[in-house]
């Protein structure tokens, strides 16, 4: 099975998860509404706008790199993990990125 196919399958499984469905599961597991409210916006950004996993990783790396608390000489890597096979794919190599 090639990585493109695996990535497509991973994308399908994630795209079927919404922030609301995850919040419902969190509530079922006993996570407090106050704790959920603290991360609700991030969940929406992460799950409800997730269309392309590679693009998502690239955006997150850019966001982390632009954080003023992260020194510019710290390499920020972006990887995709396939939970079914355990395979890791480097999307952004922090040593090569500018």
Could you tell me the residue ranges of all domains in the chain? 3-92
* 91 phi/psi in degrees, rounded to 5: -95, -45
Please check the confidence at residue 1 and state whether its pLDDT lies above 70: no
Q: Is the pTM of this model over 0.85?
A: no
Position 4 confidence tier, pLDDT thresholds 50, 70, 90: low
pLDDT per residue over 64-87, tens digit each?
A: 999 999 999 999 999 998 878 888
- Say what the pLDDT of residue 68 is: 93
Specify the pLDDT at position 36. Answer: 92
The model's pLDDT over 43-54, given as tens digits with 9 standing for 90+, comes to 887 777 766 788
Strand partners, 90: 79
pLDDT digits (tens, 9 = 90+) for 7-50: 566 555 555 678 898 899 999 999 999 999 999 988 887 777 76
Alpha helix positions (H), the chain: 3-15, 19-28, 33-43, 53-65
| pLDDT at 2 > cutoff 70 | no
Distance CA 69, CA 74 (A): 11
- Could you give the CA distance from residue 45 to residue 19 in angstroms, rounded to a whole number? 9
CB half-sphere exposure, 47, CA atoms < 13 A: 16
Of 92, 22, 94, the C-alpha closest to 53 is: 92
């Amino acid at each position: 099975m090639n990585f493109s196919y695996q990535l497509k399958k991973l994308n399908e499984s994630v795209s079927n998860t919404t922030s609301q469905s995850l919040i419902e599961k969190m509530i079922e597991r006993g996570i407090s509404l106050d704790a959920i409210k603290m991360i609700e916006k991030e969940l929406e950004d992460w799950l409800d706008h997730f269309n392309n996993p590679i693009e998502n990783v690239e955006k997150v790396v850019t966001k982390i790199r632009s954080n003023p608390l992260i020194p510019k000489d710290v390499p920020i890597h972006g990887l995709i993990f396939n939970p079914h096979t355990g395979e890791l794919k480097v999307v952004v190599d922090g040593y090569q990125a500018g």
